Amino acid sequence: MNQEVIIVRGNRALAGDVSVAGAKNSALKLMAASLLGQGVTVLHNVPLISDIEIMSEVLERLGATVVRDGHTLTIDTASVDCCETPYELVSKMRASISVLGPLIGRFGEARVAMPGGCQIGARKIDMHLVGLEALGVHFDVDHGVLEATTPHGMKGTHVYLEFPSVGATENMLMAAVTAEGHTAIENAACEPEIEDLANMLNAMGAKVSGAGSSLIEIEGVPLSAMHPCEHTTVGDRIEAGTFLVGGALTGGPVTVHGIDPAFLRMAIMKLRAMGCDVETGDDWVRVSRTEPLASVDIQTLPHPGFPTDLQAQFMLLAALADDVSVITENVFENRFMFAAELMRMGADVTLDDHHAIVRGVAELEGAPVSSTDLRAGAALVLAGIVADGETSVHHLEHIDRGYEDYVGKLASLGADIRRVSADSVAG
């Protein structure tokens, strides 16, 4: 496919209303959970992004049928008879490892290719395995393929995760719903997407309580008690946060619809600390700013701490703030690759291990830049909106993984932005 680039002319204009899609990080796991339904599950509010296409392919490879109608997916897993996911799909998207738990929950076995590295860090799956082993799952690695079996069935257990890993919590949750007896996951991830997954599992016949807190409890049910359901994905808090940063950059007002403000408590707190006015309603957040941006210190932490997925966007805000901000990345070790691209546009950032010291500058300059990961790509496009001159953002495949019609939504808010083939730019 011909490479495309996003061309942005800095016009500092973003204002109006925008609606976010369903949460990428929820929809992918809900799709995996449909395997436990053994029938026709209907998912609403599913974003039109490339990661969803890959997960659809994973499910189809297992024997499911997946039909999309707008933002609704109909997934029939009744005829799934395979429990192996191949490397070429897992290598495209690490989230496909999330079929491990539901495959074990349904078949008592699974073969899943080991995920390779990731642009923003190794994201080891050790914790997935420790939790599942405690349930009675046995693992072997054969030529890069993780083979899971349950020679004595799965029994409920008590697990304390050494880190509140989202993936490990989700995989263990989806396996434990059909384990015999009571399971408790302590130090579980508390992200809203975990709660969304638990709500869907309960609608399918599972007995999960405590999701959204650090202690999740599961009363196992027989697989025969699990059935398909209809479920609506929660709004994407990271997409929402990205547009709120856009409003903060330009002054707004920008109103983001389709999101529970409680999902963004820490981000909203930091926006206010930087001099923004933030209003909230039941399912919307509005940001505006008339004062200069103030510096802020941020450290990323698991939810309800500041989300690592909004770190690049807030580094951009800090780059244009008065004085010095310090950003500490505690979740992914390579998340600061974005800083080098922002520095090409004139930002003053000094990296020291997992700290970034950001000294505010008066303005940024348009430049050719590359998306280093999903969130960095989105932030670079926002940088182009406030930079002097023209910015071209390359490697859009990263942005396409998690933002539905990003260019169209920004254009609707007033950005001077277009998506073109790389050839036309080179010419």
Please give the torsion angle defined by the CA atoms of residues 203, 205, 207 and 213, in that order, rounded to the nearest 10 degrees: -30
Q: Would the annotation count 25 as a binding residue?
A: yes
Establish whether 401 is an annotated binding residue. Answer: no
Structure tokens given for 312:
């690049």
Strands 254-257 and 16-19 turn out to be: parallel
- List the one residue out of 192, 158, 144 whose CA is nearest residue 30: 192
Find tokens 């619809």 and name the residue: 257
| C-alpha–C-alpha distance, residues 300 and 319, integer Å | 17
CB atoms within 10 A of CB 231: 23
Q: Confirm or deny that 81 is annotated as ligand binding.
A: no
Share of the chain residues as helix, strand and coil, in percent rounded to the nearest 5: 35, 25, 35
**Nearest residue to 329 via CA among 302, 354, 357:** 354
118 flagged as catalytic = yes
Q: What is the DSSP string of 95-131?
A: GGGGGHHHHHHHHSEEEEEPP---TT-----HHHHHH
Q: Was 29 annotated as part of a binding site?
A: no
* Ligand-binding site membership of 45 (annotated): no
Q: Which of 82, 83, 118, 276 is catalytic?
A: 118
Tokens linked to 85? 């996911």
Q: How far apart are CA 246 and CA 12, in angstroms?
A: 9
- What one-character DSSP code corresponds to residue 33? H
Annotated binding site: 24-25, 94, 309, 331
User: Which residues does the annotation mark as catalytic?
Assistant: 118
Binding residues for phosphoenolpyruvate: 24-25
What residues form the annotated binding site for UDP-N-acetyl-alpha-D-glucosamine? Answer: 94, 309, 331
